Structure 1
Amino acid sequence: MAETFKIRRLEMSDKRKGYIELLGQLSVSGSVTDEEFDRRFEEISLYGEEHVICVIEEETSGKIAATGSAMIEKKFLRNCGKAGHIEDVVVDSRFRGKQLGKKVVEFLSDHCKSMGCYKVILDCSVENKVFYEKCGLVYKGVHMAKYFA
């Protein structure tokens, strides 16, 4: 049977479809209870169009195959412009090589553009630089981080 994929916004029921496990392929996701997931989902929902999480569901299995998020930053620069920030893009290892990551980045970039952003940015590892260049992004600088315990 052929795989069919549908891109859409995150739904509360996606936790049961492997969403947290998928995030674990990107970074430490930890153990998230249903109550914690529901609470965070509701909290993020309050941001409306300024924080969007998209998923790609493989319709036959009902599993979440890819995801990413975008947040809109309101600035004083650029005549009180807005910048989009793409985060947490990951494709399940079982579904890689099917252009799903590119579809996630395009979905989120289109959303940022529709929200009036003058740019969209993201941080990535050196290993992922070529992938994001194929998605139309250009190398722009150095990523720095400070983690808090």
Structure 2
Amino acid sequence: MERTKFSMEEEAFEVRKLEISDKKKGFVELLQQLTVCDSISDEAFEERFREVAKYGNDHLICVIEDEDSGKIIATGSVFIEKKFIRNCGKVGHIEDVVVDSNVRGKHLGKKIIEFLSDHARSMGCYKVILDCSSDNMPFYNRCGFKQKEIQMVKYFSS
């Protein structure tokens, strides 16, 4: 599952794996719409890209590129956790899902979630999980997720 093409409102989009050239297409700026993400040097981006690539299919970052503008307009990632429970089962963790504020409402987020969920299923995961704000719960409900448990966090100072 390298690429998935789809059309919406006479626009053609493709969900695909992150490529190293995507930094120049606004990938980092898109992440800045989600959370704190300082600018990243080309060298630091390339180093992290190669580090993530070493995990193979156990860490997938996908993007949607607007073919007209050449900009990355949506992204998300999934990493596969290998467990001892459930007969050495696997769990997919979806993270960092964001759609550019200029193109929200076109179901691109749903396409990202479907792509990442399909990848987790293809990797043998028995479930896929994610954390989200209460404001985003209706969106994830429409994508087939349901609330379970409560998230807790502990931040470390840098």
SS at match of 1:55: strand
1:29 equivalenced with 2:52 (yes/no): no
Q: CA RMSD of the aligned region, Å?
A: 0.7
- Which of 133, 136, 143 does residue 128 from structure 1 map onto? 136
Query: Which position in structure 1 is the counterpart of 2:52?
Result: 44
Query: Which position in structure 1 is the counterpart of 2:7?
Result: none
Moved over 3 A (4+): none
Query: Which position in structure 2 is the counterpart of 1:4?
Result: 12
Query: Which position in structure 2 is the counterpart of 1:137?
Result: 145
Residue 4 of structure 1 deviates from its aligned partner by 2.6
Unaligned 5+ runs, structure 2:
1-9
SS at match of 2:102: helix
- Which of 28, 39, 43 does residue 20 from structure 1 map onto? 28
Aligned ranges 1:37-116 → 2 under 5 Å:
37-116=45-124
Identical counterparts, % of pairs:
64
Checking the alignment, whether the CA contact within 8 Å between 1:55 and 1:104 is kept in structure 2 is yes
Query: Which position in structure 1 is the counterpart of 2:154?
Result: 146
Which structure shows the bigger proportion of residues in helix conformation?
1
Report the Cα distance in structure 2 between the residues aligned to 1:10 and 1:113, rounded to whole angstroms.
Answer: 19
TM-score, with structure 1 as normaliser: 0.98
Residue 154 of structure 2 aligns with an amino acid whose one-letter code is K
Report the Cα distance in structure 2 between the residues aligned to 1:54 and 1:41, rounded to whole angstroms.
Answer: 12
Report the Cα distance in structure 2 between the residues aligned to 1:119 and 1:9, rounded to whole angstroms.
Answer: 21
SS at match of 1:147: coil
Report the Cα distance in structure 1 between the residues aligned to 2:15 and 2:133, rounded to whole angstroms.
Answer: 25
